[in-house]
Amino acid sequence: MSKLMSVVFALLAGGSTALEAFINGELGKNTTPMITTFISLVIGAIFFLMSILLIGDFNDLLSLKDISPKLLLGGIFGGCIIYFTVKAIPNLGVSNTLTLIVVSQILVGFLIDALFTSQIQMHLYKYIGVILLVIGTFFIVN
C-alpha cells in the first residue's frame, strides 16, 4: 500500500472517530453508556461480518484458532474506547473529549515506539513536540 493511501486511511480513521464519538454520545443520552457500547459493538460486528461474507474472506475468519488469545484483547480495548468516550462527552463535549483521546493516543504511541519499536528514531524534535502537545492540550481543554 502506498504512503498516500495510508495517510488517507489515517484521516478516515480520525473522521470516523469523531463521527462515532458524536453519534455514540447522542445514543448515550437515550440509554446507559454500557448499553450504548454494546449496541455500537454489535452493529459494528454485524457490519463487518456482512462485509467479510460479501468480500469472501470467510476462510480467514475461520483461521482465528491460529491466533494468540492475547491478540484478541484489542476488542476489549475497542469497547473501552466507546464506553469511556460516552462517559466523558456529557461533561467535556465532543471536541474536548476527542482532543484528550488524540493526545493520549499520541503519548501512548510515542511510549510504545520508544520502548518496543527499534526502527523508529526518537529525535529531540519528537520530545519537544510532546511537550508542545501537552501545553496545547491544556489551552484547548481549558
Q: What is residue 120's predicted lDDT score, i.e. its pLDDT? A: 65
Average of pLDDT values for 29-42?
Answer: 95
Angle between helices 94-116 and 73-92 (to 10 degrees): 140
Find cell 473522521 and name the residue: 15
Distance CA 60, CA 105 (A): 29
Q: Is residue 47 pLDDT above 90, yes or no? A: yes
> pLDDT of 84-139, one tens digit each?
999 999 999 999 999 999 999 989 988 888 888 766 676 788 889 989 999 999 99
User: Taking the domains of the chain in order of start, what are their residue ranges?
Assistant: 1-92, 94-142
The b-or-e profile of 105-114 (16+ CB within 10 A means b, else e) is: eeeeebeeee
Q: What is residue 98's predicted lDDT score, i.e. its pLDDT? A: 92
Residues with Cβ < 8 Å from 46, sequence gap 6 or more? none
> pLDDT of 54-71, one tens digit each?
987 777 777 777 788 888
- Evaluate if pTM is beyond 0.75: yes
